[in-house]
Amino acid sequence: MGLLKTVIISGLFLVTFPACALYDPGAPDRVKAFKSRAEPYQKRIREEAQTTQDFVEAYADYEAFLLKEMQSALKKLKGRMEDESVEKLEQAQKRWMTFREAEKSFLRTNWSLENFGTSAVMSRGGYRTLLLKQRVITLLHYLNNYK
């Protein structure tokens, strides 16, 4: 029950988080730009992948793209922050990575071929990339608070 409560609270935070950011109508919409860059990867998964191997490759490419986007957002964010804040961000990122690894372990165990057949590939890929996509969006929202 504790895990479910944590997941629900985390989900609510992610949904309401954009409302917490400062709004500057002249600032670039980094989240919109990111979503535009991500669309070809999502389209490949949604419309082009046909076989299990197609899905494996499409999700792997999307995950690599998301990792690069996350690193880019982190680098830009760190470049705008004071040293003490950078240290706190790095601590938070390490903890997020630990969380991500725990989630990936859960996904591998639960969404196995034995339990879900070949659809497990799509479920695992979808959940893995969702975790990264949400983190990128969160970091971009943080970045929106800086000029």
CA dihedral sign of residues 45, 128, 9, 86: negative
Residue 145 confidence (pLDDT): 87
Residue 42 confidence (pLDDT): 98
Q: For residues 22 and 34, what is the distance between their CA atoms, to the nearest angstrom?
A: 19
Angle at alpha carbon of residue 94, lines to 91 and 97, rounded to 5°: 150
Residue 110 confidence (pLDDT): 93
Residue 19 confidence (pLDDT): 47
Taking the model in full, what pTM does it have?
0.80
Which residue ranges in the chain fall short of pLDDT 70?
Answer: 1-26
Half-sphere exposure of 35 (CA within 13 A, CB side): 8
28-63 pLDDT, tens digit each: 899 999 999 999 999 999 999 999 999 999 999 999
